[in-house]
Every structure is written in C-alpha cells, then in structure tokens.
Amino acid sequence: MRFPSTLQGPRPRGAGGTYALLVLLYLASAASGARAGVPRVRVGQGAYDTAPRRGLFHREDVPPAPIYRSGPAARRAAPTNQWYSSVMFTAKPYPIYAQPMAYRATAQGLELALPTGRADSPDGLIHEVRYPFVPAVVVTPVAIHAKAARLNDFSDWLAQFAWRGAGGETFTATVLHGSPFSYFRCSHGAVRFALAGRPVMLADPHAAGADPRVLAFAVGGHAYAIFAPVGAHWQWRSASIVDLRLPPRRRYFSVAGLPADASPTTIRAFTRVAYAFPTDTRARFHYDESTSTVTTTFRVRTVALQGHDRTTFMGLYPHQWDSLTSKPKVLFQYDSVRGPIRVIAGNEFSTRLTYHGFVPYWPRLQQAADRHAVDRLLGGDWARSRNFYEQYGFGIYWVGKGLGAATQLMDVAAAEGRVGLQRRLLKQIERRLQSWFDDRHATHFRYDDGLGTMVGLPAEFGSLSQMNDHHFDYGYWITAAANVALRDPAWAQRSRWGGMVDRLVSDIAYDHRGSAAFPYLRNFDVYAGHSWASGTQELEDGNNQESSSEAVNAWAGLILWGEATGNTRLRDLGISLYTNEIHAIDTYWFDVHHGAFDPNYGAPYASRVFGGKYDDSTWWTEEPRQRLGINALPLTPASTYLGRDPRYVGALFAQLPAAQTTYAAHGGYVHVTRKIWNDVLAEFLALADPQAGMQFWRPGAPVEAGETRSHTQFWLRSLREMGRPDFSVTANTPLYAVFRQRDGRRTYLAYDAGSKPIEAKFSDGEVLQVAPGMLARAERAP
C-alpha cells in the first residue's frame, strides 16, 4: 500500500542540502539511541531491539496498539493485514468485505448487507468498480452495552467479533469468506434487528403452516433470512424493527443473505444448514515436486447446534472455481466485487495449480554482440551501485529496492563471467544487509511483542505506523539474502546472519498457527488467494493491494531462501504462496480468464484491488505507464508469469498511447513522463514479445529505482536469444524454467541449490544433469 507523494519522484530541486542535513540529524540521533541501553536480542552475529530508541532529536514511534481484542485473539499475535484487521485498532468501524457479504462491527452490534456494484469513470481517465457497503440489517444485543466490538477469535478465513457488557454479558458474531451466513450467540436479553426500510416479507414465522424459526424478507434490493432456534419468539417493534427473544438454553441464531432466487425452496435449503456453526477454518497446502503442482485443501469444521447435520455452504471465488480438482454441484450464485461466488454444500474442497518454476538467474548470453552490449554497461552501473540504496529515501523500502538492483546486477555480472565484479557486488550487498542486521546503526530492526512483528527502521509508507507493506519491503531483503546465500553459504548460517533473515521471513510468512510470536501468514489471505498490504485496514473500501508483483517477489524470495538454506518446508510454502498469488493476479488484477471484471469497467487491468472495489489508479499518480508498471516491478527471473498470455500483454501495451492522450487531456505532464519506467515496461513486454520489448526500450530513458541499464539490456537480449517463457513444460525440481522461440526451439534451465547433483526431468522428456551450485542449460530443436 503505497501512499501518494514520493514513490518514484525525485526530491525537489534545491532541497538537497536540507534533506541531507535532516538525514544526518536523524541518523545521528537514532544511532545515539543504539548506545543508550535499549534492550536487544542477539541472533547469531546480528541483533534486534525490543524497545524504541530515544535520541537527542528523535524518538522512535511504536506500531499501532491492537487494543480491541478479547478471548483467544488476545493471547495470539495480532493478525494485521487481513480483511477484518481494522476491528482490532479502532472503535471507529470500517467495512469488512467477506464476499458475498459485507459487515461493519460497531459498538451497537453488527451491520450486514449484500453490496450492489456499480462501474464508474466520471472523468474518463480513472475507472473503478465499487461495491459500497450500505447496511441493510443491524443486529444489536438489546441488553448488552459495549463500548466497542473486539476481535475475539480467528482462523484461516474466519473472524469472530465480541461485545461485552459491564456485567460479563457477551454477544458474538462469526463471519467467513465465501459464506452467505453470519453466526451469532447472545448470553443475555433479546436481539434487535433494525432493517434499512419497510421489508417485503418472504417467510413470516407467524403465518399459518410456516416454520416459526425463520423470518425472511427483502430490503434494499436484496433478500435476507434470520434463523432462530426452536422456542424463540418474534416481536415487531415497528414496521422495520423486530426483536428476537431466545430461549434460555438456545442462545444462538444465524443470518444469511439470500441469492436472487429467494424462493421457498431456497429458504428451506438455507434452513437445513443454518444451524451448523463453524468453529475453525483451515487451508492446507501441498506441493508435489514430481508433478510441479500445488494442491490447496479448504476445510471448515462445524458443530450442529440443532439437529445432527454439520454440512455448511461454502462460496467459491472465481479463482477457486477455475482450479477445482473436481466440480461439485452449484446450488446458488451471488454477484460480488470479485465476480460470481458459486455456493456449494459441503465442508471441504480442493484446488490444484501448476507451479511453473523459475531459476535464480539466467545464463550467459550466447551471441558475442549481445555480451558486448551488456559488458560495456557493467562498469558504469558498478560505479553507481553505492547510490542504489537511498535514491528516494533511506528507509526499509528504498534500501530494499537498492538491494534488488544490486542483486540483479550481481547476477548479470556472474552470468557474463565478470567474476571480480560479481564478488565486489556480493560483498557490497552483504555489508548493506549487515549494517541493518548488526543493531549498531540507525538503520536497524525492532521486534514489537504487542503486535508480534519485526519492523525495519527507518520505516516508510506506513510500515510502522500502520503496519503496511511488510511483504513488499521484506521481499527485497529476503531475495537479496537468498542470492547471497547461493554464493556464500557460510554467511547465511544461523550462527552468522541467517537468523536475522529468518526473522524477516517469520514476519511475513510464519507457518505456525496460534503463536504469540507472529501471526500465521501475516499478509496472505488464503481464501482470497492473494495478499493484502494495509496493516490496520482502516479504509472504507476494505483492505487493498496495489503492487501484486512485489508480493510475488516476496514469495519467490521464500523459495530461494528455503532452497539456499536447505529449508524444504519454507521452500514448499513459498511455492504455494507464489503459485496461488499468481493465479489470483491473473484473475483479479488482469482478468485473463474474463470472469471477474464488470463488463462496464472500461479498463483492461486493475492497478489496485480492494475488498470492496478495484480501479486502475495508484496511490501516487494517474500516469498510465506507472499505473500499468506497478504490477510488473521488480522484473526478476521469477516474473516470467507476466508473459503467460502474450495476446493480453500486447493489448495492454496497445492501449497505452490512448491512455497517455487521455492523461494529457486531463493536465498530465506527458512530456515529462513519456519515458518513465521505460525499462520496467520494456522488460514486461519482452516476456510476451522479445523483439517488441527490445524496440520499446529507450537507452537514454530514466532508470527505475530497482533497475540498472545492464540488467535491462541483459534481460531483453536474453529473451531475444531464448524466446518467451514456455508454460507447457514443467519439471520435477523447483528451480527450473523453459523458453521457446518462434521456430519451436526450446531452452531448458535448471538450478541445483543443494550439495549433491540432481537430475532435472522435464515433462516433455528432456533431462538435465545439474551439478551443485550450478545452472544447467540445454537447447533443443523442435
């Protein structure tokens, strides 16, 4: 989640001296704090603080306090960056988008609705589709007066909120991704339902022959039903307010948003599952190396509060439906901001996706002219490399971008046989990492046990104050450390610097549930299939993620770090997150399957995806090249997925001139931005059409902060030699890639990060013998 201002813009002219002075004052003050007895924890040769530093001109901030927690949630690390996280941080309610339902947990109770979408482009420049939250029903415990709702419990895609009275009375509401139901328990008193208008009755519990447990109605353009236990009583207080009086031993009920066909048959089907209350949700990942597939099994555990049937309804998102291992019967369907939600009866389903692999770096260029073109740029980029790290800031994100640029430059130097340069870059990267890991400088890490998080300081873009973007930020650091580990394994030992890298991994991808140290998969939403960037989720449109490609970079970093350090469990987790995130990007950012975007959206991609909307804008600019490129950078060997649909990529670039014309018509400075991010976009286009990418690049254009001219030349010329990525062939090893020229000639790559030789078997019969620590290459004619 990048806020407007300085993402890629240079500092104002004439501000250099003032900026430098402020930087020096900050660093001196923060460094003095490092000598002021701040408690710290040693990790190998590294260390991190456990309390804020205080200096002469500076006192470090602390992350937001998750004060609105209770029950089991209060004993575990706070689940920031989730679709419901705002409940923990503020008494001011924000909408919670569960799909197809949306909620708001206020001090009075739970508001709920089935949102209605609308496409809008008032100025013709920015397009959006929003499903705004407008409460249709407000559920209030009459006898329980709480100051705020609290997060009481949670699991993989379930959240439970609690309201507590002064005398210990409790009211809880449980909501889930994909479920049309919300589930309630109330310890004392009646429950009041305030409707958004005079309802149209669909099932009246007082009618002759009706089920006395069920009240169903239509209001605000959608239908809803309340399912009470046996022995409950209904009392209308007005035309739009009804009270439910629960029997002493059956203090529960559920509420559902009904599909468009809210017929008596539909209501009876909902009644049959309305009393199977969910108690736990869990997604289990499994990477099969032999078939290069990732299977994800989603399971809901329920308890039957009335009768014996524990079956529930599960609503499948489009990305799940597209990848099911078997197609169940669809009972109902809902419209949502993510596209159609298909509802099935059951407590479990599985998806299966192909992991298409990548290698840490690409091999040496084959053509002498190509090698010469890259070689003549390497010296200049090396001379500029010390300036990579603070181009637009000196905090956790911009230094990470610099690490990314240096890492890619090191890989190019290694591929081209510039051994001395590669070693110098390796040592430079190691020193930069160590300057943050050793806890002796102003640049350092701090662990906060109130949230269960590692924060890099100086923070940027709300990474501390709002817990934003940790996967974006740390993805660069972990990937850089992994590339170091592949070349200097001793550096990565836990007794040296590997333990600090492991702490960053734990912050964004801790794989243990229920811990107080870190939350399980902080940024990744297992049911939505992708990550969220906002830590506190204090946004009217729900949580959001802009740079989906930086999320992919993080999970690629896990794969490489796991391979480099022999941590198969982490590697497999990284492969699962990487594969699922890419599938969600194809579905919700690019809509390559044409099943998610509203037909009236008017844009070919989404730059930002929110819980309740998507648009083609960014947090800092409406300039078209950056709106497109933010979901491509950083371009690394793990970015080959961007070329999966060449026709789609071609269409994206075909619309750029018209988009820039529209931008200029709205006052945009096209003459300033016409070459911005030229390197990023050229590399993106080259994945679909290597020759077009080469032609798109302008050597004199500004260099994006995570790029170098050497890397761009190497990338474009490599793809021109090897062809675009070939996704029809897989291999039985995690680090592999296949490319194909127009004439059918294939290039096979495989890397061995272990200590023993491996045999990489490709699905088309090709076999590569790979030596430890080496990249193997083979070319085959069709």
Check if the beta carbon of residue 739 is closer than 8 Å to that of residue 745: no
For residue 489, which of 400, 552, 567, 413 has the smallest C-alpha distance? Answer: 567
Q: Which residues of 406-433 are buried (b: 16+ CB within 10 A; e: fewer)?
A: bbbbbbbbbbbebeebbeebbebbbebb
Q: At what angle do helices 419-437 and 368-384 cross, to 10 degrees?
A: 40
Residue 596 burial class via C-beta count within 10 angstroms: exposed 0-12, middle 13-18, buried 19 and up? buried
CA atoms of 90 and 67, how far apart (whole Å): 8
CA atoms of 337 and 96, how far apart (whole Å): 13
Name residues whose C-beta falls within 8 Å of residue 54's C-beta, 6 or more positions apart in sequence: 33, 36, 60
550 is catalytic: yes
CA atoms of 623 and 633, how far apart (whole Å): 16
How many angstroms separate the first and last alpha carbons of the chain? 45
Find the catalytic residue in 60, 469, 502, 726.
Answer: 469
CA atoms of 72 and 68, how far apart (whole Å): 12
How many CB atoms are closer than 10 A to CB 456?
25
Q: In the numeric block, which tokens belong to residue 661?
A: 């014309």
CA atoms of 656 and 673, how far apart (whole Å): 12
Q: Which helix (H) or strand (E) holds 576?
A: helix 568-584
Check if the beta carbon of residue 313 is closer than 8 Å to that of residue 349: no
Could you tell me how far CA 232 lies from the centroid of its own chain? 43
CA atoms of 86 and 91, how far apart (whole Å): 9
Residue 515 burial class via C-beta count within 10 angstroms: exposed 0-12, middle 13-18, buried 19 and up? middle
Find the catalytic residue in 153, 439, 546, 707.
Answer: 546
CA atoms of 644 and 587, how far apart (whole Å): 13
538 is catalytic: no
546 is catalytic: yes
Find the catalytic residue in 335, 460, 488, 550.
Answer: 550
CA atoms of 137 and 219, how far apart (whole Å): 9
CA atoms of 133 and 135, how far apart (whole Å): 6
Active-site amino acid positions? 469, 546, 550
